[in-house]
């Protein structure tokens, strides 16, 4: 686990399992979309893993449930239906929660002048819907999304670019960190040239975050966050 070398000026946050948990709302919306368009039960949890991007999820469900790869037009229609179902799925979820310490740390970082964005496999409208219920969207003016790329390294790089566009000057990679709950988040951050805080608020333990190479591996943001 590395020590901080210089002040951190920007933080990029993963959403699902890091900032919040929707209680399965995303899976419900996907299931309703595929049921509506194809009349099939698409159990997302059976076919995907935490940290996958929405484009990856779409491809997998087409191949493994629908039985063919699907055209770009078919993919677009499914994602559109998914987004139509997302507001209701998030609103009605009894398992939705903001993760420990998040409601306190986001305003604290904002007050300290730390730039904050999101880096998530969600397409941007889905990300906004999820953040809005917890009143977290006001802290993020930019991000990298599944609608930018299916690869998490590339969408992390896009978040970094947008952060620079927002500030009017490129983000200093040495002063930028990301926060995520899966080994994919760690790999993506390192692939984009930044350090990563691995939190054990999702499906992976502190030990698994350390094994994945997280620069800081902590139970949640209340314990050992590097700012």
Domains in the chain with CATH codes: 10-22+97-218 (3.40.50.1000), 25-92 (1.10.150)
Neighbouring C-beta atoms of residue 224, cutoff 10 Å: 14
Q: In whole angstroms, how far apart are CA 121 and each of 16, 75, 195, 197, 206?
A: 9, 16, 19, 17, 22
Six token digits for residue 219: 């139970």
Q: Can you give the pLDDT at residue 3?
A: 38
Q: Give residue 58's Cα distance to chain centre.
A: 16
Q: What is the pLDDT of residues 44-80, one digit of tens each?
A: 777 766 667 888 888 888 888 888 888 999 999 999 9
Burial code of 113-123, b = ≥16 C-beta within 10 A, e = fewer? ebbbbbbbbbb
Percent of residues, the chain, with pLDDT higher than 70? 95
Cβ(180)–Cβ(18) below 8 Å: yes
β-strand pairing of 176-180 with 216-218: unpaired
Whole-angstrom distance, CA of residue 117 vs CA of residue 137: 10
Average pLDDT over residues 132-158: 95
Residues 6+ apart with CB under 8 A from 176: 8, 9, 10, 11, 12, 160, 163, 194, 195
Percent of residues, the chain, with pLDDT higher than 90? 81
- Bridge partners of 20? 16, 98
Cβ(9)–Cβ(176) below 8 Å: yes
Average pLDDT over residues 206-211: 97
Q: Can you give the pLDDT at residue 51?
A: 67
Q: What is the pLDDT of residues 77-118, one digit of tens each?
A: 999 999 999 999 999 999 999 999 999 999 999 999 999 999
């Amino acid at each position: 686990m590395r020590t901080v070398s210089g002040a951190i000026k920007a933080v990029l946050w993963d959403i699902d399992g890091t900032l919040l948990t929707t209680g399965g709302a995303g899976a419900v919306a996907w299931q309703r979309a595929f049921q509506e368009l194809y009349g099939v039960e698409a159990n997302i949890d059976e076919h995907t893993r935490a940290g996958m991007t929405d484009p990856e999820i779409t491809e997998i469900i087409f191949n493994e449930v629908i039985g063919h790869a699907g055209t770009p037009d078919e993919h677009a229609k499914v994602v559109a239906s998914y987004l139509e179902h997302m507001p209701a799925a998030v609103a009605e979820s009894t398992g939705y929660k903001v993760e420990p310490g998040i409601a306190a740390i986001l305003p604290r970082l904002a007050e300290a002048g730390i730039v904050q964005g999101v880096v998530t496999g969600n397409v941007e409208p889905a990300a906004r819907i999820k953040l809005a219920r917890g009143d977290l969207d006001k802290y993020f003016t930019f991000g990298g999304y599944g609608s930018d790329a299916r690869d998490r390294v590339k969408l992390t790089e896009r978040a970094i670019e947008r952060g620079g566009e927002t500030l009017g000057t490129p983000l200093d990679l040495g002063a930028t960190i990301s926060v995520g709950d899966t080994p994919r988040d760690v790999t993506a951050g390192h692939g984009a040239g930044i350090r990563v805080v691995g939190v054990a608020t999702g499906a992976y333990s502190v030990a698994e975050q350390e094994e994945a190479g997280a620069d800081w591996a902590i139970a949640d943001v209340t314990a050992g966050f590097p700012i």
